[in-house]
Structure 1
Amino acid sequence: MGDVEPIRTAAASPAAPAHANPAPPAPARVTFDRRELDRILDLYGRMVAAGEWRDYAIDFLKDKAVFSIFRRAMDVPLYRIEKDPKLARKQGAYSVISQTGLILKRGPELPRVLAVLEKPLRTIG
């Protein structure tokens, strides 16, 4: 009769409660905010309407956000629009990179950097 084990309840269990050991937070990712994405998609929409571009992809990585622009879905990107916060104080967080890896424009203001992708206006006459 003396060999009876006590009944264990959830509170007396050796495992710690869930709130005491929270899971480590997921690593922060760099993203485009709504204003930046609106500006990029505005340019993208105009270029699709002009028949220049056909597809895009967005990657949110740990160190940068990348908007890739394609002529066809199976190609390598024609251009990459990158946001790299680590470069914000040096060269500017935004850059446009060509298919060959050449940096076409870099700077702190997205609209100025995107201007390199704008088509010049032609006269009709």
Structure 2
Amino acid sequence: MSLVPPMSPAAAPESVMFHRTELGEILSIYGRMVAAGEWRDYGISALRDVAVFSVFRRAAEHPVYRIEKRPKLRARQGQYAVIGMDGQVLKRGHDLRSVLRVFERKLIRAVE
């Protein structure tokens, strides 16, 4: 009979999170979209293999957009992605700022 020691917090798998600079970029575009009346709420999830910033039009519905960070895809198509409500990848890349430019077109349309 072998005894397995309980997992200590140090042995628990780490989760992926956005860095302060990444959150600053995301919240900058989020604030502009809120001011334009397009978005109203957000949620952040830090999972083992992905960090997700979800954007909502209303608090009680599915996210309109998901901004994801998947470090395992860093060497391939890029660790950042913007995913629409239907699950379609709208933009993927290595640089968060260039990936977030997908919202610039929507922001210009919302302000007009």
Fold shared, TM-score > 0.5 on shorter chain: yes
Q: CA deviation at 1:123?
A: 9.6
User: Which structure has the larger Rg over C-alpha atoms?
Assistant: 1
Secondary structure (helix, strand or coil) at the match of 1:95 reads: strand
SS of the residue 1:81 aligns to:
strand
CA RMSD of aligned residues (A): 2.1
Q: Once the two structures are aligned, what percentage of the paired residues are identical?
A: 55
Match in the other structure for 1:70: 56
Distance 1:58 1:69 in 2: 9
The aligned counterpart of 1:120 is 108
Q: TM-score, normalised by structure 2?
A: 0.86
Shift of 1:120: 2.8
Q: Which amino acid aligns with 1:117?
A: F
CA offset at residue 67 of structure 1?
0.2
Aligned residue for 2:18? 32
Aligned to 2:3: none
Q: Greater RCO between the two (CA within 8 Å, min separation 6)?
A: 2
1:48 maps onto 2:34 in alignment: yes
The unaligned stretches of length 5 or more in structure 1 are 1-20
Which of 74, 79, 97 matches 1:93? 79
Cα-to-partner distance string for 1:6-43 (whole Å, 9 max, x where unaligned): xxxxxxxxxxxxxxx98352210000000000000010
Find the residue that maps to 1:120 and give its secondary structure. helix
Alignment correspondent of 1:104? 90
Structure 2 gap segments, 5+ residues each = 1-5
Q: TM-score when scaled to structure 1? A: 0.77
Aligned position for 1:8? none
Q: 1:123 to 1:25 in 2, by over 3 A?
A: closer
Alignment partners' CA distance in 1, 2:73 and 2:29: 23
Deviates more, 1:79-88 or 1:115-124: 115-124
